[in-house]
C-alpha cells in the first residue's frame, strides 16, 4: 500500500497539543501492530481514530493508556512523556478511558461505582471524604443516571451501563479522554444523548480521542479524523477529506472496480434453500447483537455477509452453528435446527471456520488436519489430504511444523483446510482475512476461487474486507448494527451500499 | 434499603455474639474445648475471604501463613522461654515477612499461577519442618513450655474476643473505601488501573493484612494447644478446611466465614463416632452447598433480604 505522503503537523499544533503522540510503535512478536504513529490533540478538540478490525487503532489506545507498553515512541500528556509508565500512573497524569465492555462492581450501587472512581489511590483511606457523595451525585445527574443512583448495575439497561463507564471517566477529571467505540450497541436516540455528553468534553477543554471502525459513525462529532490500516497512518483531516481519500476508499470499498462473478441463476432454483435463517434475534445480556435477521443460502451458492467488526456477523454464524441461543428459526435442508447441539449441527454438515481459527497450536499441520478428518476412512482421508495439499501447497511443505509457529496467513489456510477435512455441505468462513497482509489475501483469494470453481461446495463468508468478500460472491448481504440493511448483486454493492459502509 | 440490611446484619451479629458470651454459663468444658479452636479457625477463614472475595486471588495455601505464625511463635518460646506476647509478635511478623516474600513474585503472575505458588509454598514449609526437626519437633510436633491459660473459660473468652475484634476489623476494612478499591482490583484489574489504582499495591496490602491475622491466629492457637504440629497448622488438608469454611459461610461476606468455620469444626466433632466416615459426610455436605448454594450461608441470607 502506498502511504508515503503524510501531512506533517504544523508547529503550533505540536506545541499546544494536550496529547502528543510521536513515533509510536508496537510489535507483538514478528507482527508490527502499530508503526510510527504520530498525532496530536489540542484542548477542546475531538479526534476520531478509525480503521477496520485489526488495523491497530485499539492498540494505539492501549499504548496511550499504558495497558500495553510501546516498543518505541513518545506519548506526551500536557508536557510529560508517559510512554512506558504503568497504567495507574498514566491515569493519575490525566488520562481517562471509557471502556467498551464494562465490568462494574455488581454488589455496589451505581453511586458507589462512581464514588470508587473518585477515591484517591491510598491504602489507609477507610472513609471517603464527605464531598465525594455530592460529587458522585452531580456526575450521575450529568450523564443521566440520577434516577438510578441507588440501584445495582445488574438491573440497568445496556445504555445506562455505558453511561456508568462515562461517569467513571468523568469522575477522574481527565485532561485526555479516550473513548472506545462510543456508540456500539446503542439506539439512535441514545447515540444522540451520548454525542451530546462527549461534545461536552470539548467545552471543558479536554482532548478527546474517539476510536471507531468507520468515519460515518463519528463524523458528526469529530473535529478531525485520522485513518489507519495495518498499523500504519493512512489519512488525516476533516471527515469529508478522509472519506474522499483514495486509500481509505480502497481499504473499505476495495480497489477502483472489483471484478465480480456472480451466478444469479443459483438463487433462481426452485424448492427450499439449503439454509434459511428467518427473523433471528440474539441478545447478549442487554445488548441486541442481532435483530430480526433473515438470510438464505442455496445449494452451491457463495454468499458473503459484509459488515464491520461488531455488526453481528460472528453472532449470526454462532446462531447457525448452535453456539448461542436465539429467537426466530433456522432451517437446514428442510429441518429446523432448534434444539440441536453444536456437535450435532456440525456433524449434519455445517462446519464453521471461526475468526479465532482455533487451531491446536502445539500440534503439527498434519495432526491438525488428521483431527479434522478423524471420522473419515483411511482411504478417504488420504485422498482428501492430497486434494487439500494441492489447494494449499504451502501446507504440504509445512506438514510437520507446529501450527502455532506458522504465520497468520498459513494458519488461516490450515484452519480452512481443517474445516474442509470435515466434508462440510456448508462451509462458514468468519473473517478469514483478519490481520493478514494484502499479499496473503491474494493467495487466500485464489484458493477460494479454485474451491468455488472445482467443487460444488456451498460457502457463507463473513467479511469486513470487501475486496475479499465481493469477487467470489454470488449474493451479498450487508449487516450493520445487528440488522441486514442491504441485499443484492456484488456488482451493485459499491454504488448502492458503499456509502453506508464507509 | 441498605440501612435496614446493615442493621439486620448488625442485630444478627449482636444476637449471636451474646449467645456466644453467655455460652460458658450453660455448657460443659468439652463444648468450649471444641469451640475455642473453631474461633481461631474462623479467623483463618476470614483472612482468606479477604484475599479471595475481595482481591480476587485464590490462596490455596492459607496454612503457609498460619504455619509461619504458629511455628515462629512456638520455636521462639521453646528456645528462649520469652514471654508469650513477644513470641506471638515474632510469629506474626514471620507470617507477614513470609507472606510478602511469597506474594511479591506471585502477584506478578496471573490466572492459576498465583494459586499454584501458594500451594507449593505449603509443601515447602512442611518439608522445612521435617528437615529442621531438632527445632521444630518434626512430624511429631513441637511442645511449647507456656500456655495462655489452663482455665477453659479464660481461653474461651480470649478466643471469642480475638475472633470478634479480628472480624470487626476485617469486616470494617472490607466495607471501607480501601475495600471498595480492593474489590475493583480483583474484579477488573485493567479498568482499576485505568481509574488510577495501583493494583499490585492494593493486592499486596490485602495479602499483608491476611498474613497478619492468619499468623496472629496461628501463634495464639499454639499457646492454646501447647503444641504445634504440621497436622494441625500446616497440612494441606487444614488449608482445604479453611477454604471450605470460607466458601460455606459465603464468599465476600467476611463474617460468613465464622459460621462456616464453627459449623465445620462442630460437625466434625459431632460426627466423630463415624470415624473416617465423618470427614466424608462433612465434605459431601460442603460439596452440595458449594454446588447448589454457591453464595454460602450468609451470602444467601443477605442476598434474599436484599431482593425482598
pLDDT tens column, A118-172: 988 887 767 777 888 899 999 999 999 999 999 988 888 888 888 999 999 999 9
- Domain with A206 in it: 1-94+174-253
From the CA of B282, how many Å to the nearest CA of chain A? 30
Judge if A296 and A440 occupy the same domain. Answer: yes
Residue A10 pLDDT exceeds 60 = no
Say how many CB pairs under 8 Å bridge A and B: 78
C-alpha grid cell for residue B207? 495479602
C-alpha grid cell for residue A62? 492501549
Judge if A394 and A468 occupy the same domain. Answer: yes
Q: Is beta strand A275-284 parallel, antiparallel or unpaired with respect to A327-332?
A: antiparallel
pLDDT tens column, A277-302: 999 998 887 777 888 999 999 998 99
Residue A500 pLDDT exceeds 80 = no
Question: If you average pLDDT over residues B67-72, what whole number do you get?
Answer: 95
The residue among B1 and B152 whose pLDDT is bigger is B152
**To the nearest whole number, what is the mean pLDDT of chain A?**
86
Query: Which has the closest alpha carbon to B160: B90, B272, B261, B270?
Result: B261
Judge if A313 and A459 occupy the same domain. Answer: yes
Interface mutation vs chain A, best among B179, B194, B207, most A CBs within 10 Å: B194
Judge if A368 and A434 occupy the same domain. Answer: yes
**A480: β partners:** A483
Of A148, A173, A198, the domain-final residue: A173
From the CA of B180, how many Å to the nearest CA of chain A? 7
Per-residue confidence band for B3, with pLDDT thresholds at 50, 70 and 90: low
Rounded to whole angstroms, how far apart are CA atoms A374 and A367?
Answer: 10
Judge if A216 and A304 occupy the same domain. Answer: no
Neighbours of B3 (CB within 10 A): 7
Helix H or strand E segment including A450: helix A438-454
Rounded to whole angstroms, how far apart are CA atoms A476 and A473?
Answer: 7
In a domain, A99, yes or no: no
> What is the tally of structural domains in chain A?
3
With an 8 Å Cβ cutoff, is A66 touching chain B?
yes
Judge if A239 and A286 occupy the same domain. Answer: no
Of A142, A173, A204, the domain-final residue: A173
From the CA of B252, how many Å to the nearest CA of chain A? 10
Rounded to whole angstroms, how far apart are CA atoms B173 and B167?
Answer: 10
Query: Which has the closest alpha carbon to A294: A326, A325, A263, A271?
Result: A326
Per-residue confidence band for A384, with pLDDT thresholds at 50, 70 and 90: confident
Judge if A86 and A189 occupy the same domain. Answer: yes
8 Å CB contact between A372 and A421: yes
DSSP secondary structure of A278-295: EEEEEEETTEEEEEEEEE
Judge if A374 and A444 occupy the same domain. Answer: yes
The verdict on a CB contact (< 8 Å) between B196 and A124 is no
pLDDT tens column, A390-413: 888 888 888 888 887 777 778 888
The residue among B91 and A471 whose pLDDT is bigger is B91
With an 8 Å Cβ cutoff, is B284 touching chain A?
no
Rounded to whole angstroms, how far apart are CA atoms B246 and B42?
Answer: 8
Q: Crossing angle, helix B256-270 and helix B236-249, to 10 degrees? A: 120
8 Å CB contact between B261 and B245: yes
Q: Is the ipTM of this complex over 0.85?
A: no
Maximum CA extent, chain A: 77
Neighbours of B151 (CB within 10 A): 11
3-state secondary structure B113-150: HHHHHHHHHHHHHHHHHHHCHHHHCCCCCEECCCCCCC
Domain ranges of chain B: 31-299
Per-residue confidence band for B83, with pLDDT thresholds at 50, 70 and 90: very high
Question: If you average pLDDT over residues B286-304, what whole number do you get?
Answer: 82
pLDDT tens column, A86-96: 999 999 999 99
**B184: β partners:** none
Q: Which residues in chain A have Cβ-Cβ distances shorter than 8 Å to B296?
A: none
In a domain, A329, yes or no: yes
3-state secondary structure B228-259: ECHHHHCCHHHHHHHHHHHHHHCCCCCCHHHH
Q: Which residues in chain B have Cβ-Cβ distances shorter than 8 Å to A102?
A: 191
With an 8 Å Cβ cutoff, is A107 touching chain B?
yes
Q: Is beta strand A327-332 parallel, antiparallel or unpaired with respect to A335-336?
A: antiparallel
Question: If you average pLDDT over residues A241-263, what whole number do you get?
Answer: 77
Residue A304 pLDDT exceeds 90 = yes
Considering only CA atoms, give the Rg of chain B: 19
Please report, rounded to a whole number, the percentage of residues in chain A having pLDDT higher than 70. Answer: 94
8 Å CB contact between B121 and B64: yes
Q: Crossing angle, helix B29-49 and helix B62-80, to 10 degrees? A: 120
Interface mutation vs chain A, best among B195, B198, B200, B299, most A CBs within 10 Å: B195
Rounded to whole angstroms, how far apart are CA atoms B97 and A487?
Answer: 67
C-alpha grid cell for residue B144? 511449647
Considering CB atoms only, which of A86, A91, A122 is closest to B195? A91
**A34: β partners:** A26
8 Å CB contact between A422 and A358: no
Q: Which residues in chain B have Cβ-Cβ distances shorter than 8 Å to A119?
A: 177, 180-181
Judge if A143 and A277 occupy the same domain. Answer: no
pLDDT tens column, B189-244: 888 999 999 999 999 999 999 999 999 999 999 999 999 999 889 998 899 999 99
Residue B62 pLDDT exceeds 50 = yes
pLDDT tens column, A309-347: 778 898 999 999 999 999 999 999 888 988 899 889 988
Is this model's pTM higher than 0.95 or not?
A: no
Interface mutation vs chain B, best among A126, A128, A175, most B CBs within 10 Å: A126
CATH number at residue A208: 3.40.50.300
Judge if A361 and A232 occupy the same domain. Answer: no
So what's the pLDDT on residue B101? 92
CA angle A84/A181/A92 to nearest 5° reads 35
Judge if A202 and A297 occupy the same domain. Answer: no
Return the CATH number of B31-299, one of 1.10.150, 3.40.50, 3.40.1710, 1.10.3470.
1.10.3470
The verdict on a CB contact (< 8 Å) between A103 and B188 is yes
Please report, rounded to a whole number, the percentage of residues in chain A having pLDDT higher than 90. Answer: 39
So what's the pLDDT on residue B158? 95
Of A206, A231, A253, the domain-final residue: A253
Residue A350 main-chain phi, psi, to 5 deg:
-95, 110
Judge if A111 and A245 occupy the same domain. Answer: no
Q: Which residues in chain A have Cβ-Cβ distances shorter than 8 Å to B196?
A: 88, 91-92, 121, 172
So what's the pLDDT on residue A257? 62
Amino acid at each position: 500500500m502506498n502511504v508515503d505522503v503524510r501531512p506533517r503537523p504544523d508547529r503550533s499544533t505540536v506545541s499546544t497539543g494536550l496529547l502528543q503522540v510521536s513515533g509510536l510503535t508496537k510489535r507483538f512478536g514478528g507482527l508490527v501492530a502499530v508503526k510510527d504513529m504520530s498525532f496530536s490533540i489540542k484542548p477542546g478538540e475531538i479526534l476520531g481514530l478509525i480503521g477496520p478490525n485489526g488495523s491497530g487503532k485499539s492498540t494505539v489506545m492501549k499504548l496511550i493508556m499504558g495497558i500495553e507498553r510501546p516498543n518505541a515512541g513518545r506519548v506526551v500528556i500536557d508536557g510529560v512523556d508517559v510512554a512506558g509508565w504503568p497504567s495507574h500512573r498514566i491515569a493519575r497524569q490525566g488520562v481517562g478511558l471509557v471502556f467498551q465492555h464494562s465490568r462494574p462492581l455488581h454488589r455496589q450501587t451505581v453511586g458507589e461505582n462512581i464514588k470508587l472512581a473518585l477515591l484517591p489511590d491510598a491504602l489507609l483511606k477507610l472513609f471517603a471524604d464527605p464531598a465525594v457523595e455530592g460529587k458522585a451525585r452531580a456526575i450521575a445527574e450529568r450523564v443521566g443516571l440520577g434516577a438510578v443512583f441507588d440501584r445495582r448495575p445488574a438491573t440497568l439497561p445496556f445504555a445506562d451501563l455505558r453511561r456508568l463507564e462515562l461517569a467513571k471517566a468523568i469522575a477522574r477529571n481527565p485532561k485526555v479522554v479516550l473513548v472506545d467505540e462510543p456508540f456500539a450497541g446503542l439506539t439512535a436516540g441514545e447515540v444522540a444523548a451520548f454525542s451530546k455528553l462527549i461534545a461536552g468534553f470539548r467545552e471543558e477543554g479536554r482532548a478527546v480521542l474517539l476510536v471507531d471502525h468507520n468515519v460515518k459513525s463519528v463524523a458528526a462529532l469529530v473535529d478531525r479524523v485520522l485513518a489507519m490500516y495495518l498499523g500504519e497512518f493512512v489519512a488525516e483531516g476533516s471527515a469529508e477529506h478522509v472519506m474522499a481519500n483514495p486509500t481509505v476508499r480502497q481499504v473499505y470499498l476495495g480497489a477502483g472496480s472489483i471484478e465480480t462473478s456472480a451466478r444469479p441463476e443459483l438463487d433462481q432454483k426452485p424448492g427450499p434453500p439449503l439454509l434459511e435463517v428467518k427473523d433471528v434475534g440474539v441478545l447478549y445480556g442487554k445488548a441486541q447483537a442481532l435483530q430480526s435477521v433473515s438470510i438464505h443460502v442455496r445449494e452451491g451458492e457463495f454468499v458473503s455477509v459484509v459488515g464491520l467488526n461488531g455488526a453481528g456477523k460472528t453472532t449470526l454464524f454462532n446462531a447457525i452453528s448452535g453456539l448461542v441461543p436465539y429467537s426466530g428459526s433456522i432451517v437446514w435442508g428442510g429441518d429446523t435446527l432448534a434444539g440441536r447441539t453444536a456437535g450435532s449441527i456440525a456433524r449434519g454438515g455445517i462446519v464453521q471456520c471461526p475468526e479465532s481459527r482455533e487451531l491446536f497450536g502445539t500440534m503439527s499441520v498434519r495432526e491438525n488436519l488428521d483431527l479434522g478428518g478423524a471420522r473419515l476412512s483411511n482411504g478417504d482421508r488420504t485422498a482428501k489430504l492430497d486434494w487439500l495439499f494441492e489447494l494449499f501447497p504451502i501446507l504440504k511443505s509445512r506438514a510437520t511444523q507446529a501450527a502455532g509457529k506458522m504465520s497468520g496467513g498459513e494458519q488461516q489456510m490450515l484452519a480452512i483446510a481443517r474445516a474442509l477435512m470435515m466434508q462440510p455441505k456448508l462451509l462458514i468462513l468468519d473473517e478469514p482475512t483478519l490481520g493478514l497482509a494484502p499479499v496473503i489475501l491474494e493467495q487466500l483469494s485464489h484458493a477460494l476461487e479454485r474451491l468455488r470453481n472445482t467443487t460444488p461446495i456451498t460457502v457463507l463468508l463473513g467479511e469486513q474486507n470487501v475486496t475479499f468478500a465481493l469477487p467470489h460472491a454470488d449474493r451479498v448481504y450487508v449487516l450493520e448494527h445487528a440488522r441486514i440493511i442491504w441485499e443484492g448483486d456484488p456488482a451493485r454493492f459499491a454504488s448502492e451500499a458503499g456509502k453506508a459502509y464507509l | 434499603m441498605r440501612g435496614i440490611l446493615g442493621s439486620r446484619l448488625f442485630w444478627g451479629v449482636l444476637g449471636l455474639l451474646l449467645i456466644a458470651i453467655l455460652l460458658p454459663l450453660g455448657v460443659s468444658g468439652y463444648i468450649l474445648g471444641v469451640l475455642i479452636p473453631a474461633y481461631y479457625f474462623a479467623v483463618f477463614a476470614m483472612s482468606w475471604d479477604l484475599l479471595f472475595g475481595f482481591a480476587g486471588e485464590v490462596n490455596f495455601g492459607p496454612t503457609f501463613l498460619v504455619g509461619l505464625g504458629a511455628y515462629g511463635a512456638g520455636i521462639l518460646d521453646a528456645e528462649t522461654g520469652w514471654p508469650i506476647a513477644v513470641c506471638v509478635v515474632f510469629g506474626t511478623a514471620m507470617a507477614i515477612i513470609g507472606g510478602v516474600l511469597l506474594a511479591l513474585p506471585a502477584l506478578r503472575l496471573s490466572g492459576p499461577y498465583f494459586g499454584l505458588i501458594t500451594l507449593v509454598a505449603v509443601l515447602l514449609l512442611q518439608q522445612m519442618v521435617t528437615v529442621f526437626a531438632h527445632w521444630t519437633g518434626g512430624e511429631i510436633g513441637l511442645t511449647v513450655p507456656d500456655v495462655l491459660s489452663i482455665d477453659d473459660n479464660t481461653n474461651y473468652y480470649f478466643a471469642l474476643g480475638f475472633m470478634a475484634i479480628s472480624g470487626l476489623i476485617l469486616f470494617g476494612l472490607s466495607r471501607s473505601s480501601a475495600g471498595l478499591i480492593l474489590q475493583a482490583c480483583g474484579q477488573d484489574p485493567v479498568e482499576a488501573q485505568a481509574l488510577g489504582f495501583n493494583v499490585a499495591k492494593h493486592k499486596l496490602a490485602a495479602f499483608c493484612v491476611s498474613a497478619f491475622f492468619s499468623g496472629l491466629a496461628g501463634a495464639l492457637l499454639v499457646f492454646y494447644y501447647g503444641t504445634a504440629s504440621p497436622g494441625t497448622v500446616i497440612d494441606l488438608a487444614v488449608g482445604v478446611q479453611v477454604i471450605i469454611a470460607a466458601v460455606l459461610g459465603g464468599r465476600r461476606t467476611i463474617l460468613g466465614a465464622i459460621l462456616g468455620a464453627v459449623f465445620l469444626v462442630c460437625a466434625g466433632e459431632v460426627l466423630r463416632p463415624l470415624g473416617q466416615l465423618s470427614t466424608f459426610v462433612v465434605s459431601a455436605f460442603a460439596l452440595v452447598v458449594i454446588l447448589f448454594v454457591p453464595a454460602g450461608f450468609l451470602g444467601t441470607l443477605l442476598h434474599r433480604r436484599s431482593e425482598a
